[in-house]
Amino acid sequence: MNANGASPQAVLDRLWERGRNFLGCRHAIMGGAMSWVSEQHLVAAISNAGGFGVLACGSLGPSQLQQEIGGAKALTDQPFGVNLITLHPQLDALIELCLAEGISHVVLAGGVPSSGAIRRIKDGGGKVICFTPALGLAKRLIRNGVDALVIEGAEAGGHIGPVSTSVLAQEILPQVREVPVFVAGGIGRGEAIVSYLQMGASGCQLGTRFVCATESIAHPDFKRAFIRASARDAVASVQIDPDLPVIPVRALINHGTQRFIEAQRNVAARFRGGEISQDEAQLEIELYWAGALKRAVLEGDVDNGSLMAGQSVGMVAQEEPAQAIIDELVGQALKALESQQFREAV
């Protein structure tokens, strides 16, 4: 109990009340949308455990995404969201599908969404969540009508921005009160969740921590690579051509890392030669990553595929159920609050 008689659980409930109410779940812990990993089984498991699972559409078409949504609905009666990539050539159709399926929360990622896309989702009754790497963009997205934001630092796995999570949190959390803000990137323990909640976050998003969940369909070799890895093994990709903006991707270093450099050089040469436009070049690179990630996740090609991982990978020690992961995170959060109360009492 603290000086006001509140238990650690009551304090935690108060800290992430806004996030829980917005997501409609017991714990304001979002599952990061990881292509080929965040499919129906893992998403349902996270939601059933009290978190908020998010399906990763990635490069899936409407019919494939519909199957995933139906599968998740069959496995959970709890709310979950869908992550859509703004560069997807069928984005409009995917949005309409999500609305028709009654998806309550749509996450738009992979670029700055158009105001039209945001408006279509909201007009259809859905809530829109977007990523922001800077305060200026956060304000712009709020003006365009987004319902919540995720600030994701460079420690995250997959596509990343240039600024660390801790700096983004200090820059954005004190300045954004209009909508709930969730913090992501390098979070692997409950103590970190508490620290961001106390800074003003409404909740947190974790991806890497759930890759080795029992319910994850990731190949055993993919999971073993995560369990063996340390934080320094998760490195960011390098941009080859300054005229071809490519969002860096953080992954465990392997032979596939060098292959991506070669693929990027080839695409850049075709772009400079006028064979393809900038948008086509960027989409081709996105599809390269999707294919390389699929080979690693589903086929276990950990040497040549993409092992997208955040720097929190060093905290992934074993394969365990999603329920155990969330219980551990919440337990760590409560223990941190209890320790704070003890220090205040002394």
Top pLDDT among 76 and 258 is at 76
97 half-sphere exposure, CB direction, 13 A CA radius: 21
The pLDDT assigned to 222 comes to: 98
The answer to whether the beta carbons of residues 46 and 204 sit under 8 Å apart is no
Q: Which CATH number fits domain 8-216+317-341: 3.40.50.1980, 3.20.20.80, 3.20.20.70, 3.40.250.10?
A: 3.20.20.70
Q: Is pLDDT at 342 greater than 80 in this prediction? A: no
Q: Is pLDDT at 346 greater than 70 in this prediction? A: no
The domain spans of the chain are 8-216+317-341, 220-311
Residue type for position 109:
A
Give 120-178 pLDDT, tens digit per residue: 999 999 999 999 999 999 999 999 999 999 999 999 999 898 999 999 999 999 999 99
Residue type for position 104:
S
- Structural tokens at position 117: 């896309």
The pLDDT assigned to 1 comes to: 57
Top pLDDT among 203 and 244 is at 203
- Structural tokens at position 137: 């963009």
The answer to whether the beta carbons of residues 315 and 192 sit under 8 Å apart is no
By percentage, how much of the chain surpasses pLDDT 90?
82
The pLDDT assigned to 39 comes to: 98
Say how far apart CA 101 and CA 112 lie, in whole Å.
24
Contacts of 138 (CB under 8 A, 6+ apart): 132, 149, 151, 172, 175, 176, 181
Q: Is pLDDT at 3 greater than 70 in this prediction? A: no
pTM check: above 0.85:
yes
Region of poorest pLDDT, from 111-115, 191-195, 217-221, 262-266: 262-266
The pLDDT assigned to 4 comes to: 63
Task: Give all strands (DSSP E) within the chain, no chain letters.
Answer: 29-31, 54-56, 81-85, 105-109, 127-131, 148-152, 158-159, 181-184, 203-206, 234-236, 249-252, 307-308
Average pLDDT estimate for 180-188: 98
The pLDDT assigned to 297 comes to: 97
Residue type for position 67:
Q
Closest CA to 88 of 132, 131, 58, 119: 58
